Amino acid sequence: MSYNIEIAIRIGIAILFAVVLGNGSVVAFNRMPAKWFEDYDDKTPLDEDAPKVLPPKLIEADNAGRQRIPSTPWKYAFVSYFAICGIYLAIRGGSISYEIATLCTLFIVLEMAISDQLYQVVPDQFSWALIAMAIGFTDYYDKWWEQPAGAFIGLGISLVILVLGHLLFKTGSIGGADIKFFTCMGLITGRTGVVIIFILTTLFFALYSGIRIASGHGSIKDKNAMLPAGLVAVTIYMLFLWNISELFFKL
């Protein structure tokens, strides 16, 4: 098979996945069972009898028969996002399996980011989906323990930030969904990957929060969603920085 034909096939696959995943991002989010979004109310003391509640915005949208996330313009935006990512991966080279696994991972993280941005609640089903996706990256590691070690580091970093937040600010500076996110990404990207993703997420989150405060649309006390920044970080890492450690040193 000639190089040009192979590239054409890879680009075709990328476009197909872009259409399916881009439209599917909207359809899937709008049709997810509402029960997935149940969580404990932050204003209610957490105990064994505390009931789980649905986000008010979700209840309002579902009761009114509105889409949780409008098809227009978001389906076009998401198709474009997956098309850019997929075509870049196709042209860059590498295995088709990595291209597909990466696009599917980005799909899950996108759904998590949407959920966090709209409701600040991220269903556990997304975390399980990321754990399942980690199987698709197993062949890219020489050491069997690389992925579990990445998950351990992701969990460890998150817990350190959680403890420091309670000690310094008397409040949680990272949520349970964020902890699960970094743990799962560590399982997918390994030790170096999860550290880079954590750093990038922190930088983009700080930039976003700073812009909101500077523009008068927020304050330092606001609890902003972190996973949209996480999506940006994962996209950059999966497309441009995968296994970057191998370029500089052998772990």
- Domains of the chain, by residue range, sit at 3-248
Mean pLDDT of the chain: 89
What is the gyration radius of the CA atoms in the chain, in angstroms? 19
**Model pLDDT for residues 29-74, shown as the tens digit of each residue:** 999 999 999 987 765 555 556 678 899 999 999 999 999 999 999 9
Q: Residue 239's pLDDT is what?
A: 95
Dihedral sign computed on CA atoms, order 59, 61, 62, 64: positive
User: 3-class DSSP state for residue 27?
Assistant: helix
The percent of residues in the chain predicted with pLDDT above 70, rounded, is 90
Q: Residue 251's pLDDT is what?
A: 47
Q: Rounded to 5 degrees, what are φ and ψ at 95?
A: -80, 150
Q: Residue 249's pLDDT is what?
A: 43
Buried b (16+ CB within 10 A) or exposed e, 211-232: eeeeeeebeeeeeebbbbbbbb
Higher pLDDT, 164 or 137: 137
Residues 6 or more apart whose CB falls under 8 angstroms from that of 211 comprise: none
Q: What is the arithmetic mean of pLDDT over 76-97?
A: 93
Higher pLDDT, 93 or 149: 149
Lowest-pLDDT range of 5-14, 101-110, 175-184? 5-14
149 in Cβ contact with 187 (< 8 Å): no
Beta-ladder partners of 52 = 40
**Model pLDDT for residues 163-218, shown as the tens digit of each residue:** 887 777 666 678 889 999 999 999 999 999 999 999 999 999 999 988 988 887 77
> What CA–CA distance (Å, rounded) separates 102 from 239?
8
Of 168, 165, 167, 189, nearest in space to 176 by CA:
165
79 in Cβ contact with 51 (< 8 Å): no
Q: What is the arithmetic mean of pLDDT over 111-121?
A: 96
